[in-house]
Amino acid sequence: MKRQNMHKNVNVRAVFLESPTKTRMTHGQYPCNGNYFSPEGETPTTAIIASHYTASWANHYLGEYVARRGYGFLGWNTRYAGAPVATGFNLENALVDLGVGVRWLREVAGVEKVVILGNSGGASLMGAYQAQALDPHIDPGAVPVEELESLIPADMYISLAAHPGRARIFTEWLDPSVTDENDPLSCDPDLDMYNPKNGPPYSDEFLTRYRAGQVARNERITAWAEAELARLRDERPKGDGTLDGKGTFGAPSKDGVFDRFFAVPRQFADPRFLDLSIDPSKRRVGCYMGDPRESNYSGYGLAPITSAREWLAMWSLSKTQVCIEEQLPRITQPAMVIFANYDQGVYPSHAHAIHDALGSKDKRLVFLDGAHYFESDGSRAELASVISDWLEDHGALPV
Residues 28 and 120 in one domain: yes
User: 396 versus 88: which is more confidently predicted?
Assistant: 396
pLDDT band (50, 70, 90) for residue 54: confident
Task: Give residue 316's pLDDT.
Answer: 97
Question: Do the domain assignments include residue 55?
Answer: yes
Residues 157 and 80 in one domain: yes
Torsional sign, CA 312, 313, 316, 317: positive
Report the chain's mean pLDDT, rounded to a whole number: 93
Task: Give residue 122's pLDDT.
Answer: 94
Instruction: Indicate whether 20 pLDDT > 70.
Output: yes
* Contact of 322 with 122, CB cutoff 8 Å: no
Query: Hey, what amino acid is at 23?
Result: T
Query: Hey, what amino acid is at 28?
Result: G
Residues 82 and 57 in one domain: yes
Question: Do the domain assignments include residue 245?
Answer: no
Mean pLDDT score, 278-298:
97
pLDDT band (50, 70, 90) for residue 296: very high
Residues 174 and 190 in one domain: yes
Instruction: Indicate whether 325 pLDDT > 90.
Output: yes
Total-model pTM: 0.94
Question: Do the domain assignments include residue 5?
Answer: no
User: 242 versus 277: which is more confidently predicted?
Assistant: 277
Task: Give residue 239's pLDDT.
Answer: 75
5-9, 23-27, 280-284: which is most confident: 280-284
Task: Give residue 84's pLDDT.
Answer: 55
Instruction: Indicate whether 352 pLDDT > 90.
Output: yes
Task: Give residue 120's pLDDT.
Answer: 95
| pLDDT tens track for 221-237 | 999 999 999 999 888 78
Task: Give residue 25's pLDDT.
Answer: 84
Task: Give residue 282's pLDDT.
Answer: 98
| pLDDT tens track for 365-393 | 999 999 999 998 889 999 999 999 999 99
As for how many domains the chain has, the answer is 2
* Distance between CA atoms of residues 156 and 362, nearest Å: 10
Residues 136 and 231 in one domain: no
Task: Give residue 87's pLDDT.
Answer: 61
Least confident span in 142-156, 226-240, 272-286: 226-240
| pLDDT tens track for 82-108 | 765 556 788 999 999 999 999 999 999
Question: Do the domain assignments include residue 297?
Answer: yes
Instruction: Indicate whether 256 pLDDT > 80.
Output: no
The range of the structural domain enclosing residue 375 comes to 10-165+322-393
Residues 16 and 157 in one domain: yes
Residue 340: phi and psi, rounded to 5, are -95, 115
Instruction: Indicate whether 245 pLDDT > 80.
Output: no
The domain spanning residue 361 has which CATH number? 3.40.50.1820
Residues 76 and 141 in one domain: yes
pLDDT band (50, 70, 90) for residue 8: confident
Residues 160 and 39 in one domain: yes
Residues 182 and 310 in one domain: yes
- DSSP notation for 292-331: HHHHHTSS-SS-SEEEHHHIIIII-TTT-S--HHHHGGG-
Residues 133 and 216 in one domain: no
Question: Do the domain assignments include residue 399?
Answer: no
**Cα–Cα–Cα angle for 58, 91, 224, nearest 5°?**
125
User: Which strand (E) or helix (H) includes residue 166?
Assistant: helix 166-173
Instruction: Indicate whether 6 pLDDT > 90.
Output: no
Residues 51 and 96 in one domain: yes
Task: Give residue 240's pLDDT.
Answer: 76
Residues 160 and 174 in one domain: no
Least confident span in 146-160, 175-189, 208-222, 294-308: 294-308
Least confident span in 62-76, 160-174, 229-243: 229-243
Least confident span in 135-149, 225-239, 266-280, 358-372: 225-239
Mean pLDDT score, 314-328:
94
Beta strands in 95-250 (DSSP E): 113-119, 156-160
